[in-house]
A and B are shown apart, each in its own frame.
Chain A
Amino acid sequence: MRTTRSFADVSYYAVIGAIGGLAIAILVVPVLVVLAISLTSAASLKFPPTGLSFRWYEALFDPVQSGHIHSAALNSLQVAGSAAGLAMLIGTLAALWLDRHRGAAGRALDTAFMSPLVLPMLSFGLAALIIVTMLRQRPSLTWLTAGHLVVVIPFVIRTVSASLSQLDRALIDSSASLGASSFYTFRRVVLPVIAPGMAAGAFLAFVASMDNVPISLFLSNARTDMLPIRLWGMMESSLDVRVAAASGVLIVVTSVLLVVMNRLVGLNRRV
């Protein structure tokens, strides 16, 4: 009895440990591999790197060599900033409405608003390009922001809705019965509870917009180049090691932001 059980236990721990360990390793190792290769002194992506140097970071930050990457990064930051700000406003309002309408209509709208998270948005990117062209406009950062909005708002709706579900209804009722106006109640009772959700949602919206490919792919041109599209182009044409340096910068920035957001709003629990 004792021995058979321990054999089963050993095989269990071996198999689960191996597969689960592999999963965790393949989540982490690629990030480390990119960091390692970005410090290579060679002009190729040969692994392991032949020597240590910051030459690709210098090339990346050099405005003469990498000006087009800088302008793409600035465009992306500008679009992501406006998209995240607008998404936070519109998404919070929508989440407040959805919270009060839990009937069939409310649930149907909730599903519809969330659908950009699972539908292939490439189709909508194509539609955006056709619309812009038919209106005889040229793709601009404004169009890109508008296109990103529908894709990134679901993150805000989801995080704010989760915060709202933790709000004690009795607090709203007491505030109202003590004579507070509905706006005062919102500002002093509802807002403090949902503010972390709003911040987490805006952050996720910002990240999603920075990383958006399906919409940007169709609306990017020489004037409205976006960072992921620019990096993709560099990866497709030649294996430029500056992509590794740019990836290294993105890894460091994302890690720092994740740690900060975890401290501020407990992001891990909200994604």
Chain B
Amino acid sequence: MENYARKLAMKIEKSALTQGLIRCHECGCLTRQTSHAVHCPLCDSPLHARIANSFQRTAALLLSSLSLYIPANIFPIMTVTQFGVGEPHTIAGGIIALIHSDMIPIAMLVLIASILVPLLKMLGLGLLLLCVYYRWQINARPWTVMYRIIAFVGRWSMLDIFMISILVSLVDLGGVAQIIAGPAATAFAAVVVLTMFAAKSFDPRLIWDIQQ
């Protein structure tokens, strides 16, 4: 890997944009920035030097997901009825129930996937937005790594939603035992989807652009 790094590095570090080149988001090919080059010559997708309105879109999606995170945690995500006695569970309640039944590793898994990941993800995206907005002069590499992790882990929060869909379909035995999905499920699903879109609409090249 080291020799590639040497071979790859040009004499001076320059971004493609400062050299008048646009990298296609889809296929990666470079096109010279001209007034008429609006579509990539290789794959026909529209060319943008940076994701269009990246900051505003990410901020809007982040704020929406942040506001939905509250109902997602307050309301019950599912209601378990056994022998006619219903018991609503919130996300945190489900984790506590797992701990009580001595399923510590599984409880940790759910804790990470449905509480820590969304929370840290929103925090991380917020920091990235602040960094771009206030033009913080930072070592951009760890920030890019943070972005990469945020973009990668988001989908794992769907764990809870999938688990509920399985439980709801299996435990449907009328009076004996029944599990019903609660209103928090919709809110939580929206949080996961919105944060995934937020991560996708953030352009990590903005962090590098502001460094002098």
Chain B binds chain A: no
Q: Residues on B close to A: CB < 8 A?
A: none
Q: Residues on A close to B: CB < 8 A?
A: none
